[in-house]
Amino acid sequence: MDGKVCIDEQLARLRHDLEPALHAVIPALHADLKRLAAAQRRRFDSPPTLSTTAVVNELYLKFAQSSGLSVENRRHFFALAALAMRQILIDHARRRIEAGRVALDEALLVPADDARRLLDIDEALARLAGVNPRLVEVVNCRFFGGYTEEETAAILGVTDRTVRRDWEKARAWLAETFEAS
């Protein structure tokens, strides 16, 4: 229990003393963050140029560069991490598309169309956020974060049943959005 209390204290410090707290939190939660990053990489068949470690490292940099990072607790930290990893994958896909080509080894794993599809999903989620932000949080946790219903419920502070309903609504909304386009 002492380890969890210590992490919670470090997370609370993120609001006031970002740099030292990040140095303590990221290594302590490294295994969990790598699991989260690995789930996202598998989901998108990420190219070898964006390893699980690279995603976690970019997450650290993203958090370190954000001046107003405010973390309430462990659940909130992982919700922010899932969102940040989504942004990292989106940015990586954008750079690959803007480059106009995909390296040969990447082409075997991820065609450029898949990267474009990821951008389409991101745009659709931005529209969905205007309609129902919690549905987007559920998608961030379940789809981008690879969390179970129970883990998502704990992160968002809702019941498993609410997560299940929100997940179904979000999937239906996204399916309808992509059918229309």
| pLDDT, position 46 | 56
Whole-model pTM: value is 0.59
**Of 14 and 151, which is predicted with more confidence?**
151
**Which tens digit of pLDDT belongs to each residue from 92-139?**
777 766 655 443 333 323 344 566 777 777 888 899 999 999 999 998
The tally of domains found in the chain comes to 1
Q: What is the pLDDT of residues 17-48, one digit of tens each?
A: 666 677 777 788 888 888 888 877 776 655 55
In this prediction, residues 137-145 reach a mean pLDDT of 84
For 11-20, b/e burial (b = at least 16 CB within 10 A) is bebbeeebee
pLDDT band at 51 (very low <50, low <70, confident <90, very high): confident
Per-residue confidence (pLDDT) for residue 106, from 0 to 100: 38
* Predicted confidence band of residue 148 (pLDDT cuts 50, 70, 90): confident
Question: In whole angstroms, what is the distance from residue 109 CA to residue 100 CA?
Answer: 17
Long-range Cβ contact pairs of 98-106 (< 8 A, separation 24 or more): 102/47, 103/47, 103/49, 105/47, 105/48, 106/47, 106/48, 106/49
Q: What is the domain range of residue 137?
A: 2-180
